[in-house]
Amino acid sequence: MERSTATLGGGCFWCLEAIFSDLQGVLKVIPGYSGGHVPNPTYQQVCNTETGHAEVVRIEYDSAQISYEELLEIFFSTHDPTTLNRQGADEGTQYRSVVFYHDETQKQTAEKVMERMAELWEDPIVTELTPLGEFYEAEQYHRNYYRLNPQQAYCQMVIGPKVAKFRTKFADKLRASR
């Protein structure tokens, strides 16, 4: 196994966690916060845009099974990277599209994928490409939110349709048992 890590933000971290947790080769997905100036922020602080942090997921994966490039292709296919500080009805800097790269190789891969994926969108990609600083894990109740709260309205109206579309488009990348 070749354990690697990616950190991505593209709207609500509940959506990203639900999508990336389904992938073959993904070992763990942890919701959290990154990119701001306040150490150990709370969800409430991040939602009030007091911290500068984005909602992100830290994805631990086996790069022998799934590549960083594949993760980025899925990332850019499952959220709108052309809207600044918003995804659907979720609005604010905490919902910005951002790739926090861990090293120069990830940065170069992200630049290549962003250039290629730009052709799929009518508007320009506004995703930030930023070196990873501190990552702060979100509160425990955010973990596996979609799986544990399927009847919650946001899960039914926003996450559910997004996950269903993802599962159809990337069926060949899903883990055998979900």
Q: Which long-range contacts (CB under 8 A, 24 or more apart) does 94-97 make?
A: 94/33, 94/46, 94/47, 94/49, 94/53, 94/54, 94/55, 95/9, 95/11, 95/12, 95/54, 95/55, 96/9, 96/54, 96/128, 97/9, 97/10, 97/11, 97/125, 97/126, 97/127, 97/128
| Residue 12 designated active-site | yes
Maximum Cα–Cα distance across the chain: 41
Question: From CA 139, how far away is CA 91, in angstroms rounded?
Answer: 21
- Please tell me which residue in 12, 15, 47, 155 is annotated as part of the active site: 12
Question: From CA 113, how far away is CA 43, in angstroms rounded?
Answer: 30
Active site residues: 12
